[in-house]
Amino acid sequence: MEQTGHVAGWVDQLDDTAVSVTDAMLRAGGGVPVPTVHVLVEGLDPPYVGKLACRQFYRGRDAHAAVAVMGLFGSMLGASRLVLTYEHADMARAWEAPGAEDAPAGVVVVDAAWDLREGHTIRWHPARLTGGADIEAGGPVVVPS
């Protein structure tokens, strides 16, 4: 999908931020951010309206429902784009996807246009997670690369 204008720059910035935040959270304690949807409205300056972080959920059907309902936020605000960010392995387990326990780690950024003719783009940032030790904290850490 070819993006034009400053909306494309916002999508790129949200992509970079999702990777940076996930990296920082993994290093700090091994956690990952909850799925988050960002709302962009073409024609506004700036086009970024806001974000909605996913509610707490249980594995299975509840996880599917929790993520699906986040799209309502954008529709109520007349979004021209929604940018959904999440960590793949974490969500595969939450959605109870086949092979979820072996799902690769990585950040997924879905750039979804309101107008289906513009299409959607999925950006994949694979991660390799290794164990390490934090001498200052005195314990094990997750080291992403």
Specify the DSSP element, H or E, that contains 130. strand 129-134
Distance CA 53, CA 49 (A): 14
| Residue 110 CB neighbours (<10 A) | 15
Whole-number pLDDT of residue 1 = 43
Alpha-carbon span 60 to 142, nearest angstrom? 26
Find, among 56, 33, 46, the residue nearest to 109 by Cα.
33
Spatial separation of the C-alpha atoms in residues 89 and 14, rounded to whole Å: 20
Preceding peptide of 46 cis, ω within 30°? yes
Under a CB-based contact definition with an 8 Å cutoff, are residues 78 and 39 in contact?
no
Q: Which residue has the tokens 């936020």?
A: 73
Question: Which of 78, 117, 82, 84 has the alpha carbon at shortest distance from 7?
Answer: 82
State the Cα–Cα distance between residues 99 and 132, nearest whole angstrom. 26
pLDDT in single tens digits along all 145 residues of the chain = 444 557 889 999 999 999 999 999 988 878 899 999 999 998 899 999 999 999 999 999 999 999 999 988 888 888 999 999 999 999 999 999 999 999 999 999 999 998 888 889 999 999 987 876 666 666 666 777 8
What pLDDT is stored for residue 138 in this prediction? 65
